């Protein structure tokens, strides 16, 4: 397996991604969409999720295809990004047809970035406009790191961010991952240098430093994020929200199974993961252009999990510094020149 030509989720044919952010707000939104509705489901493993329209993505619910998926900062306020996307879709007459009415289907998930040093004293919720801007700017190329929904993200030890990665399997199926990483846990081992996801790195996509050679890792959990946010409750100010996608033709239950399997990627890249204070969530998406034998569905889930682990590491690796940051960037701690 190799990464796709862009090493982005948009290597999955037809998928487009747009970002919008407000640097003063230290927050933003990211939207995944496509020219045609696509199959989607979701699985939640974190204890503190914030979502919209995710119930309808359960395998037994009637609506199986969606028009876009929005990831946003802003905690519950950020769910309004979905409304901005729906507004834009409505002007294009895109959505689920009910008689002569068209209803855009836009599930979404949010992360908590309200205590990251940005200016949150808005008079009007900014996320509706951010969602619309992100949708209207969607293309097959988009920025990673401090961008979109990852603009204000913070991991335990450094700035978080927006990450993406892709794989092309030997059977020709493409798999991609998109993630806004804002976890309670750390993406790096003690010392901040090595990524937990290092065994799965392709080339030097997040530094090429390899795995940490130390043993007994994971027993001591240090968090600059927790210290920076006190006296607030830092264990409730987190979340990793992600999308894994493929051009394999999957049913809605199979998209759900893809999302379940991809959660392993969060656990491989973040320690600890899936805590009561994280809203860890993965959407599973299929564009349905490539036949996949039933026997290979397990392999597809494994590939998605590795792809997501790589995307999380890339989110932190590519984060960039900004005025008023609470935490350093990985790049500011390590000079690879």
- pLDDT for 234 equals 65
For residue 290, give the nearest of 246, 235, 322, 242 by alpha carbon: 246
- The per-residue DSSP string of 120-136 comes to ---SS-SHHHHHHHHHH
What is the C-alpha to C-alpha distance for residues 122 and 78, in angstroms, rounded to an integer?
Answer: 13
What is the C-alpha to C-alpha distance for residues 190 and 215, in angstroms, rounded to an integer?
Answer: 11
The two tokens of residue 122 are 């808005």
- pLDDT for 75 equals 95
What is the C-alpha to C-alpha distance for residues 112 and 184, in angstroms, rounded to an integer?
Answer: 11
- In sign, the C-alpha dihedral spanning 287, 206, 320, 80 is positive
Are 228 and 327 a contacting pair, CB within 8 Å? yes
Are 200 and 306 a contacting pair, CB within 8 Å? yes
**Element containing residue 219 per DSSP (H, E):** none
Which residue is it, tokens 């894994």? Answer: 244
What is the C-alpha to C-alpha distance for residues 102 and 332, in angstroms, rounded to an integer?
Answer: 48
What is the C-alpha to C-alpha distance for residues 79 and 321, in angstroms, rounded to an integer?
Answer: 26
Which residue is it, tokens 């030997």? Answer: 170
Q: In sequence order, what are the beta bridge partners of 283?
A: 42, 243
Grouping H, G, I as helix, E, B as strand and the rest as coil, residue 265 is helix
What is the C-alpha to C-alpha distance for residues 213 and 189, in angstroms, rounded to an integer?
Answer: 10
What is the C-alpha to C-alpha distance for residues 109 and 104, in angstroms, rounded to an integer?
Answer: 16
Task: Look at the chain and count its residues.
Answer: 337
Can you give the pLDDT of all 337 residues of the chain as single tens digits? 899 999 999 999 999 999 999 999 999 999 999 999 999 999 999 999 999 999 999 999 988 899 999 999 999 999 999 999 999 999 999 999 888 899 999 999 999 999 999 999 999 999 999 999 999 999 999 999 999 999 999 999 999 999 999 999 999 999 999 999 999 999 999 999 999 999 999 999 999 999 999 988 888 788 888 888 877 766 777 899 999 999 999 999 999 999 999 999 999 999 999 999 898 999 999 998 888 888 889 999 999 999 999 999 999 999 999 999 999 999 988 776 5
Are 34 and 287 a contacting pair, CB within 8 Å? yes
- The per-residue DSSP string of 19-41 comes to EEEETTTTEEEEEEEEEEEEEEE
Helix axes 127-136, 81-91, angle to 10 degrees: 50
Are 47 and 236 a contacting pair, CB within 8 Å? no
Are 149 and 180 a contacting pair, CB within 8 Å? yes
DSSP state of 200: G
Grouping H, G, I as helix, E, B as strand and the rest as coil, residue 104 is coil
Burial of 253 (0-12, 13-18, 19+ CB in 10 A): middle
Are 18 and 135 a contacting pair, CB within 8 Å? yes
The two tokens of residue 249 are 């033709």
């Amino acid at each position: 397996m190799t990464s796709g030509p862009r090493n982005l989720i948009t290597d999955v044919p037809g998928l487009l991604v747009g970002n919008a952010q407000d640097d003063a707000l230290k927050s933003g939104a990211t939207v995944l969409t496509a020219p045609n509705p696509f199959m989607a489901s979701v699985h939640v493993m974190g204890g503190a999720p914030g979502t919209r329209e995710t119930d309808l993505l359960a395998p037994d619910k009637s609506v199986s295809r969606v028009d876009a998926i929005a990831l946003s900062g802003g905690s519950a306020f950020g769910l309004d990004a979905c409304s901005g996307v729906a507004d834009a879709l409505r002007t294009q007459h895109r959505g689920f047809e009910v008689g002569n009415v068209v209803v855009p289907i836009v599930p979404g998930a949010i992360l908590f970035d309200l205590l990251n040093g940005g200016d949150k004293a808005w008079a009007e919720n900014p996320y509706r406009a951010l969602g619309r801007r992100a949708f209207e700017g969607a293309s097959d190329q988009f920025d990673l790191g401090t961008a979109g929904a990852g603009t204000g993200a913070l991991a335990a030890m450094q700035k978080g961010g927006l990450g993406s990665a892709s794989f092309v399997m030997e059977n020709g199926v493409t798999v991609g991952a998109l993630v806004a990483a804002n976890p309670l846990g750390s993406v790096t081992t003690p010392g901040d240098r090595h990524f937990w996801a290092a065994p799965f790195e392709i080339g030097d996509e997040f530094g090429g430093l390899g795995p940490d050679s130390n043993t007994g890792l994971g027993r001591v959990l240090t968090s600059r994020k927790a210290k920076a946010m006190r006296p607030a409750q830092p264990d409730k100010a987190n979340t990793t929200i992600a999308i894994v996608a493929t051009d394999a033709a999957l049913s809605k239950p199979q998209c759900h199974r893809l999302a379940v399997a991809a959660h392993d990627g969060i656990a491989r890249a973040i320690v600890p993961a899936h805590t009561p204070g994280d809203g860890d969530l993965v959407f599973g998406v299929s564009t349905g252009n490539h036949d996949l034998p039933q026997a290979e569905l397990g392999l597809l889930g494994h590939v998605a999990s590795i792809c997501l682990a790589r995307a999380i590491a890339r989110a932190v690796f590519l984060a960039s510094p900004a005025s008023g940051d609470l935490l350093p960037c990985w790049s500011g701690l390590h000079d690879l020149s």
